Structure 1
Amino acid sequence: MAAAQKFDVVIIGAGAAGLMCALTAGYRGRSVLLVDNAKQLGRKILISGGGRCNFTNQNIEPAAYLCHNSHFVKSALARFSQWDFIAMVERHGIAFHEKTLGQLFCDDSAKDIVTMLTTECDWAGVTIQLRTDIEQITQQDSGFSLQTSAGDYLCDSLVVATGGLSMPKLGATPFGYKVAEQFGLKLLPTTAGLVPFTLQPEDKIRYEQLSGIAVPVIATAACGKQFKEAMLFTHRGLSGPAVLQISSYWQPGEKISFNLLPEHDFVSWCTETTAASPKLSLKNALSRLLPKRLVERLIELGDLPDKNLNQLGKGEIQQLADYLHHWHIAPNGTEGYRTAEVTLGGVDTDELSSKTMAAKKVPGLYFIGEVMDVSGWLGGYNFQWSWSSGYAAGEVV
């Protein structure tokens, strides 16, 4: 039987965080093995942003992250910021553009980001091994031994970068959580985040024919968190950026409030429009502000009156304002990990150093990226956490 190969660092998981950690450690002269059970590197990077990879956001700030300890993300984000990653993208000549709200996308393809990271790993002398299953991890007097489907390895530092449970079709597994449990680290309950809502059966019947209609809204969760973006009606429920964002703050049983007219005060608008065109129907008037199919359906359902503007009384106008500015839905649930962009919860950050991502109780063990209890907003925030946490660990392993 072949002797175990020795590396300074073994990183399990060749996604965004693992790649960044590997190249950072490699440039420090460390011998690095990056292993993954997948057939290709960076699968989540490749499919993200519609294949163009929303690789970071110009407006990165700690407040955009959900974490049991709200201060945990500050150190890593400050030491490897969005500007540091943008500088790397520019060094590689990758063309990119801002879409909305500071979101940065490749002009061409997400493959450019994977190629960039792979090239950097190559320059840094990293050994990459795909199609490799980790069968057993054992803590040694100093470091760890790993039994894998490709042979045995020894290392001083072991980095877990295996991600969460979202998108199982890309190979997501609870492996990282099992490693944390093996070494006695606390886990926080996991749920799907940045995920579409499903509707209660009666609401599904009411709204399913609106599938495909998008409306700009302000979505508000019961906790008071708000997002101003688009909402999309789907066959099963509600999606779109506003819904994905607010889903991370939603608890089962709670209602979500949507302001369907975020740019208008309905009472003022109705008063002005009535003065100009008193005999205009509410349906035709509102169809100037909202998709016509939506207005027609709300009238069919009896939620809006089928009247002319000049037939509306003061009290009725106020009721309409309340309805349109506070349209409530109590979701039945979410679509779950199948379509979720992130996993909320995971390895408790109280178990880790915010500066190095090292496990406080287990010398030489590190957790980076989505496997821990850090989840960002939609729009490049989660990739930036991968780059920042990967860099933080890569600087010290």
Structure 2
Amino acid sequence: MERYDAIVLGAGAAGLMCAAEAGLRGRRVLVIDHAERAGKKILISGGGRCNFTNIGTVPERFLSANPHFARSALSRYTPADFLALVERYGIAWHEKTLGQLFCDGSAKQIVAMLLEEVERGGGTVVCGHGVTDVSHADGQFAVTTTQGRFSAPALVIATGGPSIPRMGATGFAYDLARQFGLKVVEPRPALVPLTLGGDDVLFRELSGVSAEVVASAGGASFREAALFTHRGLSGPAILQVSSFWRHGAPVAVDFLPDRSAEWLLDAKRASPQATLRALLRDVMPDRLANVLAERVGQSGVFAPNDPLGRIADATLRDAGGQLAAWRFHPNGTEGFAKAEVTAGGISTAELSSKTMEAKRVPGLYVVGEAVDVTGWLGGYNFQWAWSSGWAAAQAI
């Protein structure tokens, strides 16, 4: 049995970061992953360019049963810290909307950087090792894989959640947590497209149409693009609110976020011969304008091509309110297969927010997506991976 100072399960963002930092602190570290290569989810992120952090990272942009849990790690290893590492490796980057930082080139550069950091710290990464058993006795964790047995006084769970199973993602972290008596907050898909049924099925006909909206669910609102799909709703605004949405609840969409509540009355006075359909076509894709105009007027009170001058003010006010808070009733999500991340996970109540160590199992650490901490879309989850991995490494 080979002995190490720490064994990290999972060669993803959090695991590699933890291994690199612990190695640079003089620890002998082994990283084990069942996939054939390290960093598989990093490689596909950001369209292959890796949205590696967000300069707007603050604890308030993370979901957790304990909203304060992420504060310590995020404050001690910041986006500026990771950006300094990226620049030290000469990786060109650019800022896109809303503080999102991407590689100019390829996500492969981030994986190569992390692997080089692990190597610089003397760490070892082994892939293609399926873990068959983990045990703990006499202060040592023993890990049995399909290719060997290893032991260490510190074990780091960095195997993520079950989102994107085609990349090899599983619920292994939760099984291991339960084995050691740690509670798990029910995992659910997050940053995931929503599916529509019932009266909303008509909107599936708009597949491929996108528009800038304000989407709201669960007390959160985001102004970004929404995309209609053959199954329902997607796009950044919808992915964002999906993390807050719960089954049975509506999602409200403001299709005209730059218009006042009285805009149709103003339009009626300015151009009484204008129609709702024509006005909507001026500010959104024609196909979407047609459907919304027809649905708003479907009560028979007015038709999409009726001149505004013939429509009562109260009716126009109601129509404006409907367009500003269109209520969709999703019947579900596209599940873990299409979810970018997993909400829920190993309970933060079980862990130290400073070290990520399990309070009841000395030497056991949990980092990254496996923890019940989920960031907004746009680089936040990578920053949590870097920060939590770094925090654990300081304690190993």
Give TM-score, length-normalised by structure 1.
Answer: 0.96
Query: 2:229 aligned to 229, 234, 242, which one?
Result: 234
The residue number in structure 1 matching 2:163 is 166
The residue number in structure 2 matching 1:363 is 362
Query: 1:74 aligned to 48, 71, 76, which one?
Result: 71
The residue number in structure 2 matching 1:65 is 62
User: Is 1:22 the counterpart of 2:16 in the alignment?
Assistant: no
Cα shift at 1:132: 0.3
Partner Cα separation in structure 2 for residue 292 and residue 380 of structure 1: 33
Q: Which amino acid aligns with 1:215?
A: A
The residue number in structure 2 matching 1:261 is 256
Q: Deviations over 1:302-354 (max 9, x none)?
A: 44732112222211111111111110011000000000011111111100000
Partner Cα separation in structure 2 for residue 133 and residue 281 of structure 1: 63
Are the equivalent residues in 1 in contact too, given 2:35–2:129 (CA < 8 A)?
yes
Q: Which amino acid aligns with 1:34?
A: V
The residue number in structure 1 matching 2:205 is 209
Q: Which amino acid aligns with 1:208?
A: R
Cα shift at 1:122: 1.4
Q: Which amino acid aligns with 1:209?
A: E
Partner Cα separation in structure 2 for residue 236 and residue 360 of structure 1: 43
Query: 2:290 aligned to 272, 296, 311, which one?
Result: 296
Q: Which amino acid aligns with 1:388?
A: S
Which ranges of structure 2 fall in alignment gaps of 5 or more residues? none
Are the equivalent residues in 1 in contact too, given 2:35–2:128 (CA < 8 A)?
yes
Cα shift at 1:273: 3.2
Query: 2:137 aligned to 135, 140, 143, which one?
Result: 140
Cα shift at 1:250: 0.8
Aligned residues: 391
User: Is 1:245 the counterpart of 2:245 in the alignment?
Assistant: no
SS in 2 for 1:101: helix
SS in 2 for 1:69: coil
Are the equivalent residues in 1 in contact too, given 2:66–2:348 (CA < 8 A)?
yes
Partner Cα separation in structure 2 for residue 327 and residue 144 of structure 1: 54
Partner Cα separation in structure 2 for residue 390 and residue 313 of structure 1: 61
Which ranges of structure 1 fall in alignment gaps of 5 or more residues? none
Query: Taking every aligned residue pair, what percent have the same amino acid on both sides?
Result: 50
Alignment of 1:314-353 (within 5 A): 314-353=313-352
SS in 2 for 1:39: coil
Query: 2:34 aligned to 18, 37, 43, which one?
Result: 37
The residue number in structure 2 matching 1:280 is 274
Cα shift at 1:82: 0.6
SS in 2 for 1:297: helix
Q: Which amino acid aligns with 1:19?
A: L
Give TM-score, length-normalised by structure 2.
Answer: 0.96
Are the equivalent residues in 1 in contact too, given 2:8–2:158 (CA < 8 A)?
yes
Partner Cα separation in structure 2 for residue 234 and residue 314 of structure 1: 34
Partner Cα separation in structure 2 for residue 187 and residue 79 of structure 1: 26
Q: Deviations over 1:254-285 (max 9, x none)?
A: 11111110111152x33443344332222112
Query: 2:174 aligned to 167, 172, 177, which one?
Result: 177
Q: Which amino acid aligns with 2:303?
A: P
Q: Which amino acid aligns with 1:310?
A: G
SS in 1 for 2:97: coil
SS in 2 for 1:358: coil
Partner Cα separation in structure 2 for residue 14 and residue 88 of structure 1: 18
Partner Cα separation in structure 2 for residue 171 and residue 224 of structure 1: 33
SS in 1 for 2:102: strand
SS in 1 for 2:395: coil
Q: Which amino acid aligns with 2:140?
A: G
Are the equivalent residues in 1 in contact too, given 2:10–2:157 (CA < 8 A)?
yes
Partner Cα separation in structure 1 for residue 261 and residue 137 of structure 2: 68
Query: 1:121 aligned to 115, 118, 123, which one?
Result: 118
Partner Cα separation in structure 1 for residue 216 and residue 294 of structure 2: 26
Cα shift at 1:298: 2.6
The residue number in structure 2 matching 1:395 is 394
| Aligned-CA RMSD value | 1.2
Cα shift at 1:247: 0.7
Partner Cα separation in structure 2 for residue 21 and residue 145 of structure 1: 19
Q: Which amino acid aligns with 2:339?
A: A
SS in 2 for 1:60: coil
